[in-house]
Amino acid sequence: MTTPRPGQPVPPSMNLRGAVDLSALKARAQRPASAAGSAGPGAPGAAGEGTPSPWVVEGSDARINQLAQLSGQVPVILQLWAGYSETSLQMLDLMSERVHARGGRLALATIDIDANPQITQAFAVQGVPATFALVKGQPVPLFTGAQPASQIDAFFDELLQVAQANGVTGSLAGGDDEQAGEQQAEAEPALPPLHQEAVDAIDAGDFDRAAAAYRRALAERPGDADAAVGLAQVQLLQRLDGADPDVVRAEAAERPDDLTAQLAVADLDVSGGHVEDAFSRLITFIGSSAGEEKESARARLVELFDVVGATDPRVTRARSALARVLF
């Protein structure tokens, strides 16, 4: 996805389903964060500094999963700042004010780049202030540098159109009243114990424990579709843990007939949103292979179908292509 130039709006027709990134995978079953009262005391942009807003939270590497899940309810603005940048500090107050004016249709997460290197690296931040959004867990570049209030409002208008086109039309309650409590209860359904154990393990980076929890859930209920999808996603995270993308791609290019190399780069492509490339690669490999290698590639492809989602049109097309090379 190309980052728009400052002042260039995000097109409403943008397809946000084009990526399946690791943060989205980790956040699949995570309950949404409550936007009200989540910002830490003294956090820039939090209630009590600048314009108070119940829809401002303090974002962090540890909380990105919750923010990604919350973005299935409302778009979440990520405002990246640094203490050495006076301009970025000024933008925090202005962004808080403009989000507050939207009355719960947006949430704002303020992120200190010095304290959160994972987010900074994931979004390839070159300088602050930098502004992104999450919609359904997927990143939407907004703008870099400072912007006037009128331009920020124009960006927000475009973002809300993008969100609506992708089915994100919720809103957040604005305080600690009864309505906020009811909305939070609706937004945070209790997960089955083993699912919650898996989610907690993912947040802790313990993918082995997460996989074991999902396997126990499937042993108890073999028809548990959520556990099956969760296990497929965690297994992808396990395979990619510690992998060097440059090495993976180089080995796949050098050894196009090597099963291990092709499976590895397919995993990498799915994690980075190049879903169709991954599917096409494995289908081509299946079509030119035989025996155990053919079956191993087919099994991995079916597993990646679960990662992406059975109803995704790319999966539907790939299933048809797979049937053609198998039969």
Q: Could you state, in chain order, the average pLDDT of each consecutive group of 10 residues for the chain (327 residues)?
A: 35 34 40 36 40 75 85 93 91 91 92 88 88 90 91 90 85 57 47 86 86 94 85 88 90 95 93 87 94 95 86 86 91
Asked whether residue 157 falls in the same domain as residue 269, the answer is no
Nearest one of 215, 113, 101 to 160, comparing CA atoms: 101
- pLDDT value, residue 34: 36
β partners of residue 80: 111, 130
Three-point CA angle 125, 127, 130, nearest 5°: 70
Tokens at residue 93, please? 């107050």
Asked whether residue 98 falls in the same domain as residue 240, the answer is no
Task: Show which of 187, 212, 245 is a domain's final residue.
Answer: 187
- pLDDT value, residue 229: 83
Cβ atoms within 10 Å, residue 276: 14
Tokens at residue 67, please? 């923010």
CATH number, domain at 141? 3.40.30.10
Task: Show which of 169, 187, 205 is a domain's final residue.
Answer: 187
- pLDDT value, residue 178: 42
Sheet containing strand 107-112, strands side by side: 56-58, 107-112, 76-81, 130-135, 138-144
Domain count, the chain: 2
- pLDDT value, residue 186: 46
In a domain, 28, yes or no: yes
- pLDDT value, residue 289: 92
Q: How many residues does the chain have?
A: 327
- pLDDT value, residue 299: 94
The β-bridge relationship of strands 76-81 and 107-112 is parallel
CA distance 193 to 115: 32
Asked whether residue 197 falls in the same domain as residue 292, the answer is yes
- pLDDT value, residue 174: 62
- pLDDT value, residue 190: 61
In a domain, 177, yes or no: yes
- What are phi and psi for residue 85, nearest 5 degrees? -110, 105
Alpha helices in the chain (DSSP H): 22-26, 64-70, 86-100, 117-122, 149-165, 178-187, 193-203, 207-220, 225-240, 245-254, 259-271, 275-287, 291-308, 313-326
How many Cα atoms within 13 Å fall on the side-chain side of residue 212? 7
Cβ atoms within 10 Å, residue 95: 27
Nearest one of 180, 69, 201, 85 to 135, comparing CA atoms: 69
Three-point CA angle 129, 134, 140, nearest 5°: 70
| Residue type for position 194 | L
Task: Show which of 162, 187, 212 is a domain's final residue.
Answer: 187
pTM of structure: 0.49
In a domain, 45, yes or no: yes
CA distance 299 to 319: 12
- What are phi and psi for residue 126, nearest 5 degrees? -100, -20
Asked whether residue 169 falls in the same domain as residue 227, the answer is no
Domain hosting residue 313, numbered range: 193-326
